C-alpha cells in the first residue's frame, strides 16, 4: 500500500540539502511496503514553500501525490505560494502536465484555490 510520509531526519538526502543551501529542508517520501519509491524536498518560508527537488520514478500520479501533499501542508500553515527551484529542467515538464505550473512559470499561487478546485472534479 502506498503511503506518503514526512521523514524526521535527512539521512540519505545530504546532496539535496547541500544544493538547497538552507538548513530547514523537509523530506516527504512515498513508501511502498516500507521502501521509499519517491520523495519531495522542500522548505517553508514566511510567504511561500520552496521545493528543491523531487523524484517520482517516472510515475506522473506519484508526482501529483507528492506535490499535493506539500501543497496541503503549506495551505494548513497559511502559505499560499509554492516556488519550484529544481536542479533538473526536465522535472518541470510533469509539473506543467499536471497544471501545477503555467508554461513559463516556476511558481504556483493560491494553493487553497488549487486544492479546492479538485473537489469539483470529484463531482463530475
pLDDT given at position 23: 81
In whole angstroms, give the CA distance from residue 113 to residue 99: 13
Q: Which residue has the cell 520523495?
A: 39
> According to the model, what pLDDT value does residue 22 have?
82
Whole-structure pTM over 0.85, yes or no?
yes
* CATH for 2-122 (3.30.365.10, 3.40.630.30, 1.20.1050.10, 1.25.40.10): 3.40.630.30
pLDDT per position in the chain (124 positions), as tens? Answer: 889 999 999 899 999 999 888 889 999 999 999 999 999 999 999 999 999 999 999 999 999 999 999 999 999 999 999 999 999 999 999 999 999 999 999 999 888 777 776 554 555 4
Cα torsion through 86, 87, 92, 93, rounded to 10: -160
Q: Are 89 and 57 in contact (CB under 8 A)?
A: no
Amino acid at each position: 500500500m502506498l503511503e506518503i510520509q514526512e521523514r524526521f531526519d535527512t539521512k540519505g538526502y545530504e546532496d539535496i540539502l547541500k544544493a538547497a543551501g538552507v538548513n530547514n529542508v523537509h523530506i516527504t517520501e512515498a513508501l511502498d511496503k516500507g521502501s521509499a519509491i519517491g520523495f519531495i524536498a522542500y522548505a517553508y518560508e514566511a510567504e511561500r514553500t520552496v521545493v528543491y527537488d523531487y523524484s517520482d520514478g517516472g510515475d506522473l500520479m506519484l508526482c501529483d501525490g507528492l506535490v499535493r501533499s506539500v501543497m496541503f501542508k503549506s495551505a494548513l500553515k497559511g502559505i499560499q505560494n509554492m516556488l519550484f527551484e529544481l536542479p533538473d529542467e526536465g522535472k518541470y515538464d510533469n509539473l506543467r502536465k499536471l497544471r501545477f505550473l503555467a508554461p513559463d512559470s516556476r511558481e504556483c499561487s493560491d494553493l487553497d484555490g488549487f486544492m479546492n478546485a479538485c473537489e469539483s472534479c470529484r463531482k463530475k
